[in-house]
Amino acid sequence: MTQHKQGPEEGLPQHIAIIMDGNGRWATARGLSRSEGHKAGSRAVRTIVTRCRELGVTHLTLYAFSQENWGRPKTEIGFLFDLLVSFLRDELPAMERENIRLSVFGDISALPLTSRKALEHAMSRTANNSALHLNLALNYSGRADIVQACRKLAAADTKPEDITEQTISDNLWTAGHPDPDLVIRTSGEIRLSNFLLYQSAYSEFYFTDIQWPDFGSEELDAALATFRSRSRRFGRTEEQKGS
Ligand code: FPP
């Protein structure tokens, strides 16, 4: 994460959410281990965070570990969480310097203790930052998010008539964050895989064959150019859009 100061560009999404897919295939294609792929993936994270900060994107959410990912081999899971700890250790100074606030979407109580502690430390150190909200979806699932929001509302004895789209939003792990304007998925898969299901109702989607470790600033800029070319109508007609 390097220095840069620029105003936000015209037509820039406020919130970009990314399904970072293809680390394994990237590694296999190069005769490397899956761990090497994840390591290269964490370098891509740094590049994209830097580029978003540079452009003036205010919210970036990265799908780093889904609830379904617990089904992977234990050694791979262990490697991913160790990588997260190294990433946080290496990047925290830059986050502090660059006014980046770290948050987590998901249930972190089930995470290995060292990664939980590293996350809590980084979140508290960056809690007052505001230029870029960097959100890691960890032990995340969109359906689980909706379930936990419903449980919170039920536990508070919420009356049926008081349950609205807003009260549900306010109880999701993403509470207080705008819905994603743009959802990107790398590596050629065209699906959402339980990511931000409620929040992506009106998101624009961008799918690319590029594997996550190869997704750099130029690829992000290409996604943003596509985003700018889209006509977002939110269910209205083209004529009504501006009114
Ligand atoms: C998907 O690739 C990627 C993941 C399940 C993990 C995402 C993790 C990183 C990008 C690295 C670490 C992140 C941070 C925030 C430090 P895959 O393994 O499913 O690839 P494949 O489908 O080609 O096997």
pTM over 0.75: yes
Pick from 23, 70, 92, 139 the residue to mutate for probing ligand 1's pocket: most ligand atoms within 8 Å of its CB: 23
CA of 87, closest atom in ligand 1 = 16
Q: Using CA of residue 191, residue 194, residue 198, residue 204, what is the dihedral sign? A: negative
Q: Where are the alpha helices (DSSP H) in 138-201?
A: 142-155, 165-171
Q: Does domain 15-142+179-231 have CATH number 3.40.1180.10?
A: yes
The identity of residue 72, as a single letter, is R
- Pocket mutation for ligand 1, best pick of 20, 66, 77, 82 (most atoms within 8 Å of C-beta): 20
Q: pLDDT 10s digit of each residue in the chain, 243 long? A: 444 444 467 799 999 999 999 999 999 999 999 999 999 999 999 999 999 999 999 999 999 999 999 999 999 999 999 999 999 999 999 999 999 999 999 999 999 999 999 999 999 999 999 999 999 999 999 999 999 999 999 999 999 999 999 999 999 999 999 999 999 999 999 999 999 999 999 999 999 999 999 999 999 999 999 999 998 778 787 777 665
**Domain-by-domain residue ranges, the chain?**
15-142+179-231
Query: Do you know the residue count of the chain?
Result: 243
State which amino acid sits at residue 18: I
How far apart are alpha carbons 110 and 232 in whole angstroms? 38
- How far is ligand 1, taken at its centre, from the CA of residue 65, in Å? 8
